[in-house]
Amino acid sequence: MERRPRARLELSDRAWQVLAQAGGNVAVLHRHLTAAGGQVPSLASLYRVVHRDLEAGRTLPDRAVVRRDREERHTRQAMADLALASPRQGDVAEAVLRLPRSSSTAASAVPVGESGAVAGVGLPAGAQLVRTPSVRAVAEPVGQAMAAEGAVCVFGDPGRGKTVAVRMALSVVPAVWKVTWVPVPVRPSVAGMRRAVFDALALPGRFPHTSALADAAVAGALGEARVLVIDEAQRLPVPCLEYLQSLCDHPGTRITLVLCGAGTERALARLPQLASRIAAWQEVPRLAAAQVAPVVTGFHPLWRTVPAEDLAWIDQSCAHGTFRTWAALTTHLQNALLTTADTSLDRALLARLCQRVAPPL
């Protein structure tokens, strides 16, 4: 008599994924199936099935590769959910303080000295960074570009807070991402730009004597998730932009390129190949008239003693929505109140300070 055929035990693709994540440990797979419920084969049967399929030619991916892919998926999902745009979600909510006097949602203050939030940014004594709508508008495309490992261009007139907005956006990135700021040399060449990237990455050893060795060292360091920020990118000529494009196009690099500076959009227009790779073009506008009062009062408590009509007059006659001008006025106002006795904070003092920060015609 012929032997009656028996049902063959087969493992699903999901079971093989669990086995690969466990590094081929069959006992971990057995515990996973037991926790999932249902009819579970014995541990000995699982060993026989895995051994049979491996001998038939099935292979398990390397455990490090599986772990890296899983971390990348989690990071991409977290970046897509967060988008670096909402300071009210998750752990970022702890970093946002309410304004002591104003309940307006147009701006929220970030405490000075917070990790990554004010690195490289000089503030007057007692001042706080303010998370304005423009800052949140910059943070969203930066987060989306990081999720897709793309490029983003942040542009706008000088003094609008482009660099500060990028720094505040990158202060809440996951720890698996490394942020590197590359200073752009004056009148840069390709060799100077290559050296600037090499030094910014803090690579060990001396700078290689050939460009091929330097490019290999830089590409090796950019093999992990990293944000490469090029501030004052409007200085870059076409050859330097082509060098940055080569870093993005290298098959072994995993970088998000952030190009920031006044006139960067015009510099990128000279190289359409790189401009076509920009995933988002984000302009930092001037402060709107309705945003001036909540922003400057959140920036420094000294402005809370100034009437709202005087704040509007300063913005209309002097600052014109430029945040850098407001920071300079804050410093001059502090010095005037500290150095001169019985100084009254009136329109005459404000007019004199506005003339001090206004450029001569």
Mean pLDDT calculated for residue range 118-145: 76
In terms of CATH, what superfamily is 74-95+132-283? P-loop containing nucleotide triphosphate hydrolases (3.40.50.300)
The H or E element that residue 19 is part of is helix 13-21
What pLDDT sits at residue 6?
A: 67
The burial of 116, by beta-carbon neighbours within 10 Å (0-12 exposed, 13-18 middle, 19 or more buried), is given as middle
C-alpha pair distances (Å), 11 with each of 31, 53, 58, 148, 186: 14, 9, 12, 33, 62
Q: How does residue 325 score in pLDDT terms, banded at 50, 70 and 90?
A: confident
Please tell me whether the overall predicted TM-score, pTM, comes out greater than 0.75 for this model: no
> What digits encode the pLDDT tens for the residues 227-236?
999 999 999 9
Residue 237 burial class via C-beta count within 10 angstroms: exposed 0-12, middle 13-18, buried 19 and up: middle
Query: Which pLDDT value is given to residue 193?
Result: 92
State the CB neighbour count (10 A cutoff) for residue 280. 17
Determine the pLDDT at residue 230: 93
Name the residue type at position 157: D
What would the mean pLDDT of 209-233 be, rounded to a whole number? 90
Joined together, the tokens standing for residue 104 give: 């307006």
Q: Is 51 exposed, middle or buried (0-12, 13-18, 19+ CB in 10 A)?
A: exposed
Query: What are the tens digits of pLDDT across the range 169-213?
Result: 887 777 778 899 998 888 889 999 999 999 999 988 889 888 899
- Kindly report, residue by residue over 44-100, the tens digit of the pLDDT: 888 888 888 888 888 776 666 666 666 666 655 555 544 443 333 333 322 222 223
Say what the pLDDT of residue 60 is. 76
Average pLDDT, the chain: 79
